[in-house]
Structure 1
């Protein structure tokens, strides 16, 4: 049997292991090395005092049929439990086959997508809509200015050599300045003019004022669009107990099929010879070990992968060392109530605002985004009838002042911002809190990223090495695209295809986009 070593037990690594074992388990011995004690990577679910946190927010929506089939096999879909049903913990009934005691908790819920911008204590739809409320919030002067700015952008296109010009071409400078410029700098720590337009081309391709208008007109005419942009979808699937549920289940299935998963194993060295990876040096709870293999799949950061390789040319080494990342802190707060009125007309348990995410655009506030876990799934919250479990997302750099705050200081800082914005009425409404820090959460598109093609060419010379997943490719992939890189890599392994273009070309299409940082 060929020895397959997979670095990382996130969506890409687990998908690759599961797919390989299910299709050719008798020919491959699969070992997964996970640096942390958890599976799922940034798509894991964190448990805290009976409540669950989704790190970053993960909508289960994809235009990849292969991914959708795979999800459906892991977690059958079911309708949403009624918000006004007080018996939230009753068993879910599966359809069409009826209840099954062994899988009653293995369900996908259908969720209503609500994401809004909170700007100057007012809510705006995200993406920006053309509803009357939007114009009332903007005011007549700003509305006219935004309209004129958009028309000017339509007539005078800027060269798309940076993210700023990319946004202005699609929204006009006024809307860009209000709703994109400050938030983008908050997320990345760089002004958009210093960020490659590649990020926009990947994350917001297809989204523009014209796309919003087209979607609005189609809905008004009662037509169902066949090419709705991801940011404009109104429903998505979500595991009952958060995204980690599917990856915990997948990890268990991998082990039942004969795969081996080692946790708390940090790969520090990648040893090569004659165009092949031969072995890995791994820090394990039992000490330093050398692990050999025939095939290697890596979802570890490209920066660390090349940094641990033998005899890398100096130029490539410098380019890899210069690849940038953005780190991330999410703070879970359990609160009695939010000081926000539900004026949307949507029914929610406790009549809280129905948002999955609230984007915080004010540049004087460090908080980037607020999740309301009750609205992702009421089963994420221990007592959803009496408490609200929110996630506050802060973008930072490992080692900076915010990253190094104590957990108590971080909570006090966040509480102060929520009070300042009017989201909380009193700090006494906070009942509990928990912080999670995530390194290299977001591969960034500046600095030496411009030379990523040269790094890819170097990595491709290793015939038995496949780079998969978000960090494995230094590409801001969503969960479904990370999974697709795994599927493509396994296809190559089983078919003997040497060219890896298909693996690297996942998510470079022109009709799919997504705005969220998951």
Structure 2
């Protein structure tokens, strides 16, 4: 047993839980702290009776066998579903398949708009081939060069403005290749490998997996300490001191942190001014998920519907019945939808009362054409720091903070989406945690190298 070791893990989302599990597997009992009253972070599954909601929508796919093995160890095979991916852009009342398919664009939006889009696409492709190489300066430039001005405006401009809360010309483009596929121009589309269009999903939502992780930790002697916010931490003589909001100070030999990177820097009293300035530039997007159960059944054959048009306030709509029928009561025959609103963490909508929020949601239900249906159930979930913002200063600011922490605090391990301020999937958050634990035990690895490639994310290992 590694009884001499006493690591502290901050945050009980996918990264923190994975780090704690890995430590426990290697004979170390960490102290696991969580600021909220639940484990799982954004990947939790709030419940109200037999109603379950998935905030953000969490598809389970990964290229890592190690991640897959951990998923399989936490949940038995009968608790996993294999779900075909089916997403669409809702444009002018038409559901256009997403990722975009050339034939479907023309079929749904008509020959005239198809030809206009094709001419714009061809023009920008020609300009791109004759212009100097290099990374596009911003997301708008990337989108226009990838799809042409017409299709970029039709499908992406409004959506990005709503979901990133910024002008696309003011957003970095380095996440785009990982998240957005080019148009599929195949005349006859062959069936892709199952891992490309099927993902795994826990029957009762993503929180089922992370609740199982929490239970596994309790069995290993590690009980997450909930509702415990870290306010300050410092290191002296090889020992870490972590002050909690109630005044208690706990000690450890290392810290694994998935708290927001800017909050971590703020909690380090010795960080120099230039590092604090870099941290102050990092921004998040908040997320409000409103789950609405409608009494009537409406055939919406998609997991996700993206809503770029101005007639919607929401950015995306989840169709929970397409994720898993176990997210709603058995035998229920209505339509269970999740409306996603991307907001500023300190904005008015994040603090809006239920009445104001209801008006916005009801307007979106009408825009979807379902205004006549009776509402049976409503659940609201607010997530303040859901997604990091990729503005032009993010990479430089994160790099400055990362380099300082490496030099000054080699036993401090930032990890996960918020801990590294990166647009990671949950498997990347887990991988950064696994590598952080490996580094803690002396292995030559660099967790900051997880998810730095430009390959598209949405492929991976699929096995039971």
Instruction: Name the TM tier (shorter chain).
Output: over 0.9
Look up the match of 1:148: 119
Match of 1:108 among 64, 80, 83: 80
**CA distance 1:213–1:289, shift in 2 (3 Å):** same
Partner of 1:507: 451
Offset from partner CA, 1:228-262 (integer Å, 9 cap, x none): 7xxxx321111011100111111111111122310
User: Of 327, 330, 334, which residue of structure 1 is paired with 2:293?
Assistant: 334
CA contact (8 A) 1:161 1:197 kept: yes
Alignment of 1:456 onto 2:405: no
Aligned equivalent of 2:327: 380
> Structure 1's 382 and 303: CA in aligned 2 closer, same or farther, altered over 3 A?
same
Q: Secondary structure at the match of 1:259?
A: coil
Q: Secondary structure at the match of 2:350?
A: coil
Is 1:180 paired with 2:156?
yes
TM-aligned CA deviation for residue 425 of structure 1: 3.1
| Aligned match for 1:12, one of 6, 12, 15 | 15
Aligned-CA RMSD value = 2.0
Q: Which residue of 1 aligns with 2:32?
A: 32
Give the equivalent residue in structure 1 for 2:462. Answer: none
1:257 partnered with 2:228: no
CA–CA separation in structure 1 for the residues paired with 2:23 and 2:395: 33
- The answer for the alignment partner of 1:403 in structure 2 is 350
Q: Number of residues paired by the alignment?
A: 449
SS at 1:487 equivalent: helix
Match of 1:138 among 84, 87, 109: 109
Please give the alpha-carbon distance, in whole angstroms, between the structure 2 residues aligned to 1:126 and 1:42: 24
CA distance in 2 between counterparts of 1:170 and 1:77 reads: 40
Question: Which of 273, 298, 313 lines up with 2:272 in the alignment?
Answer: 313
* Partners of 1:294 and 1:464 within 8 A in 2: yes
Q: Distance in 2 between matches of 1:44 and 1:360?
A: 24
Give the whole-Å Cα distance in 2 for the aligned partners of 1:395 and 1:310. 32
- In 2, Cα distance between equivalents of 1:281 and 1:252: 26
1:272–1:310 Cα contact (<8 Å) kept: no
Q: Is the 8 A contact 1:300 1:472 kept in 2?
A: yes
Matches within 5 A, 1:42-441: 42-78=42-78, 107-131=79-103, 133-157=104-128, 160-204=136-180, 207-209=181-183, 212-213=184-185, 219-220=189-190, 224=192, 233-273=196-236, 278-283=240-245, 287-337=246-296, 340=298, 352-422=299-369, 424-426=370-372, 429-441=374-386
Compute the displacement of 1:383 (Å).
Answer: 4.2
Counterpart contact for 2:100–2:182, Cα < 8 Å? no
SS of corresponding position for 1:459 = helix
SS in 2 for 1:29: coil
Q: State the 4+ residue runs in structure 1 displaced beyond 3 angstroms.
A: none
| SS of equivalent to 1:382 | coil
CA distance, structure 2, for counterparts of residue 512 and residue 208 of structure 1:
10
**Cα pair 1:334 1:432 within 8 Å, conserved:** yes
Q: Shift in Å at residue 277 of structure 1? A: 6.4
Rounded Cα–Cα distance in structure 1 between residues aligned with 2:108 and 2:320: 27
Cα distance in 2 for partners of 1:72, 1:398 equals 34
Q: Could you tell me how far apart the structure 2 residues matched to 1:213 and 1:140 are?
A: 15
* C-alpha distance in structure 2 between counterparts of 1:415 and 1:250, whole Å: 37
Q: Could you give the per-residue CA deviations for residues 445-498 of structure 1, whole angstroms, max 9, x where no partner exists?
A: 11641422111101212111111100000000001110100111111122x14x
How far the C-alpha of 1:419 sits from its partner, in A, is 0.8
Indicate how the Cα distance of structure 1 residues 3 and 256 shifts in structure 2: closer, same or farther if over 3 A, else same: same
- Further displaced range: 428-437 or 153-162: 153-162
Gaps of 5+ in 2: 460-464
Q: Is 1:3 the equivalent of 2:3?
A: no
CA distance in 1, matches of 2:65, 2:87: 25
Cα distance in 2 for residues equivalent to 1:289 and 1:208:
52
Distance 1:52 1:357 in 2: 16
**Normalising by the residue count of structure 1, what TM-score does the alignment of the two structures yield?**
0.83
Distance 1:75 1:180 in 2: 37
1:239 to 1:301, Cα distance in 2 relative to 1, 3 A: same
Counterpart secondary structure, 2:88: strand
**Contact 1:374–1:384 (CA under 8 A) maintained in structure 2:** no
